[in-house]
Structure 1
Amino acid sequence: MNKKAENIIVGISIGDLNGIGSEVILKTFEDSRMLELCTPVIFANAKILSFVKKSFTSTIQFHGVDKLDQILPGKVNVFNVWKEGVDIHLGVNNEKIGEYAIKSFVAATKALKEGVIDVLVTAPINKYNIQSEDFKFPGHTDYLDKELDGNALMMMVQGDLRVGLLTDHVPINEVSSHLTEELITRKIETVRKSLIQDFSIVKPKIAVLGLNPHAGDGGVIGKEDDLILKPVLKKIFDKGTMVFGPFPADGFFGSGQYEKYDAIVATYHDQGLIPFKTLSFGKGVNYTAGLNKVRTSPDHGTAYDIAGKDMADYNSFKEAVYLAIDIFRSRNQYEEITEKPLKIKEKQL
C-alpha cells in the first residue's frame, strides 16, 4: 500500500459483537467525509459486519482484506482476523463472543506495535466475558500497558476537560494502599508530559483531588491527604510542575473550579468518572496516555439493552476517532519541534 504522510491509518478493534460496538463503528463511517481524514481498518470479519449492518439502515461498503498490505485509502477496510462464522445474538452476554473481541483486540495491538496502523480505537468490551487462560487483564488499558512502551494512565477527555486517574480498576477499599510517592509522582509526570506532547499545552496546570471527604479536613476524616498527597505534590511542584491540591472533590466540579486547570487528577475511578460523565456523557473519550502509541475509545460500554435496535449514539466513538487523529498529529509536531534543535547543534559541530 502506498501511504501518504497525511493518510492516518486508524485501526479499530470490534469489541463485543453482541453489543453496540459494530453499530457505532459503522454509523461513524457512513459519513464519507471521515475517509478524507483517515483510512479505517476494522479488525473483525467482513461477512459478520455485513450481517450486523442489516440491523439498521446502512449503505456502507467494505473492502475486505486478508493481508494488511492490501489496505486501501478511501475505503472502509475490514481485516479478516478470522474466517469462520460466529453466532451473534445481539444484546446477550456470551463468553464465546468475548473470545472474538480479544482476537480482534490482540490482532489490532500487534498491528499497532508493528506500525502497520498509526492509532488504535477500541470498541467496548465486556470485562467479564473476555477473561480466559490466555487473557487475564481487567481491560484494554492493562494489556496495552504490558505490550507497549511507557506507563499507561487512563485519561477521560472532552474538549478542554481532561480527567486522569491515579488508580483505575482498583477496589475502593484498596485505593489508599496504592497511593505511594512513586505512583503519584509517576502518574503526575505522565499527565504533564501528555498535556505537552499530546495536547500542545506548553506549561500545563494540573489539579489533584483529595482522597477523603473534604480532603481529610486536616486529618479529622482520614490522614492520607495530609501525610501522603500534600507532601508529594509539594515535592513535584518544587521541581517545576504546576500541580495543585489536594482539593476537596465534592464541590470541585459543581463550582466550576475544574475550568481553571488543563487536567484534573482523581485518586480513584468513580471520583473522576462520575463528574466527567455527568458533564460529558455521549461525547467523552477514554484516552490511554503515557504510552508510545495512541489508543482511544468511547466513554460507554456494550449497552446490551439497546444492541440491534438502531438506537446507539455514535458521537462518542466518532470523537474517539477525531481525538486519536489529533493526538497523532500533535505528537508528530512535538517530535519535529524537539528534534530540530538537536539537528541544528549537530550541524554547528
Structure 2
Amino acid sequence: MSEKENKIRVGISIGDLNGIGIEVILKTFEDPRMMEFCTPVVFGATKTFSFQKKVFKLSTNFVGISDASEIVHGKMNVVNVIKDIPNVEFGKETKAAGDVALQSLKAAVAALKADEIDVLVTAPINKYNIQNEEFNFPGHTDYLATELEGDSLMFMISDTLRIGLLTDHVAVKDVAGAITPEVIERKIATVEKCLIEDFSIQKPKIAMLGINPHSGDNGVIGNEDDTVMKPTVKKLFEEGKMVFGPYAADSFFGSDSYKQFDAVIAAYHDQGLIPFKTLSFGKGVNYTAGLSKVRTSPDHGTAYGIAGKGEADQSSFIEAVFAAIKIFNNREDYKLLSANPLVKSDN
C-alpha cells in the first residue's frame, strides 16, 4: 500500500445546506497541504460544492465519486449521495436543507460503520429542521449513540481545556433529577477511558463541578450536591480514580483552577459550554467521547447570520479535522501498547 493510501480517511457530513458548513469545508481543503495529513471524503453533491466554490471565489480542487469505495487519495472527494438537490438559500431555515443534512449524515455514518472511512467530522446542523421520523434527537451526540457502540458523552476539547457534560441537551429544570450516582459513575468511567486511550494520559485527574450555586452551600442552596455528588465522588476516589470536587462553578475557571486537571465535568450544558467557548472559541472542538468510532465537530453552529457572505472562519473546522486524526492515531497506538505481546505456544 502506498503512502497516500495510508492517509487517514476523514469522512465529512455537510450539515445545513443554508449555513456555513460547505463554506468552511471548502476553505479548509483549499490549502493543498491538508492532503498531506488525510484524505477528505465529503458526503454531499458535487453540484452544490461547485456552486458554493463559485460563490466564495475559492480554488479548492475536488473530485466527484459515486461511492466511498472509489476514494481518490491526494484529492478532496465528494461522494454524491443527495437524491434531490435543492437550491441553496443562505441564512434560511428550510425543511429541504434539513433533509439534505440528514441524507449526508446517514451516508457518512454508514461509511464509518463499514470502515470505508476512518473518522467522522460533522459540519453543523440545525437541530429543528433536521427532525423527522428517522431523526428524533436533540443533536448529533444522541443520534450517534444509537448508531455506534459505546456510551456517548459530549466532550469539548482544545489544547488547554477539556470539558465533559453529565447532561447535555436537557432542560435546566430537569438537570438535577437527571443526575444520579449511576450517571456520574458511568460518565466518569467514559471520561477516564477516553483520557487514557484517546489522549494518552496514564493517570488522569478529573474535576467535578457542583450542580447548584456554590455546590449547594452545605444544603442552603439545594441538597443535590451533598446527597448525590459528594458521596459519589468520594466513593470513586476511594476506588482509586483521581476524581475531585464538586467545585463551585462560578470561580473555577476565572481562578485558573481548571489548569490543574486533565478534564472537567460540568453538570449541565451551559455550565460547561459557556466557559469553554469563552476560553477556546474558534480553536475548540466538540468530540463525542466513549464511542467505538471517532467523531468530531467544530464548536460553532450553522451561523445563518453570516452564511453566504464569505465571512466564515474555518479555524474550528480545521481543529476538528486534526483532533479526529490525532485521536484516531492515539487509539491505534493504545491498541498496540495494550495488546498481549505473548504469542500462544502450540507445545
Q: TM exceeds 0.5?
A: yes
Matches within 5 A, 1:291-306: 291-306=291-306
User: What is the CA-CA distance between 1:134 and the residue it aligns to?
Assistant: 2.0
Hey, what's the Cα distance between the residues in 2 that align with 1:235 and 1:112? Answer: 37
The one-letter amino acid of 1:256's match is D
Aligned with 2:290: secondary structure?
strand
Hey, what's the Cα distance between the residues in 2 that align with 1:101 and 1:212? Answer: 37
Return 5+ residue gaps in structure 2 as ranges.
none
Matches within 5 A, 1:1-349: 6-339=6-339, 342-344=340-342, 346-347=344-345
Give a deviation string over 1:151-204, Cα, whole Å, max 9, x none.
000000010310000000000000011111111000001000000000000000
Hey, what's the Cα distance between the residues in 1 that align with 2:136 and 2:63? Answer: 33
Hey, what's the Cα distance between the residues in 1 that align with 2:85 and 2:216? Answer: 56
Hey, what's the Cα distance between the residues in 1 that align with 2:99 and 2:13? Answer: 13
TM-score (norm 2): 0.97
Aligned with 2:258: secondary structure?
helix
Count of aligned pairs between the two proteins = 347
Hey, what's the Cα distance between the residues in 1 that align with 2:345 and 2:41? Answer: 41
Hey, what's the Cα distance between the residues in 1 that align with 2:312 and 2:346? Answer: 58
Hey, what's the Cα distance between the residues in 1 that align with 2:234 and 2:346? Answer: 40
User: What is the CA-CA distance between 1:82 and the residue it aligns to?
Assistant: 2.1
Aligned with 1:152: secondary structure?
strand
The one-letter amino acid of 1:319's match is E
Hey, what's the Cα distance between the residues in 2 that align with 1:273 and 1:294? Answer: 21
TM-score (norm 1): 0.97
User: What is the CA-CA distance between 1:68 and the residue it aligns to?
Assistant: 1.6
User: What is the CA-CA distance between 1:348 and the residue it aligns to?
Assistant: 10
Return 5+ residue gaps in structure 1 as ranges.
none
Hey, what's the Cα distance between the residues in 2 that align with 1:84 and 1:61? Answer: 24
The one-letter amino acid of 2:243's match is V
User: What is the CA-CA distance between 1:85 and the residue it aligns to?
Assistant: 3.0
Give a deviation string over 1:301-342, Cα, whole Å, max 9, x none.
000010010100100000000000000000000000000xx2
Hey, what's the Cα distance between the residues in 2 that align with 1:5 and 1:221? Answer: 58
Hey, what's the Cα distance between the residues in 1 that align with 2:141 and 2:107? Answer: 15
Cα RMSD (Å) of the superposition?
1.4
Give a deviation string over 1:97-125, Cα, whole Å, max 9, x none.
10100000011001111111000000000
Aligned with 1:109: secondary structure?
helix
Shifted more, 288-297 versus 52-61: the winner is: 52-61
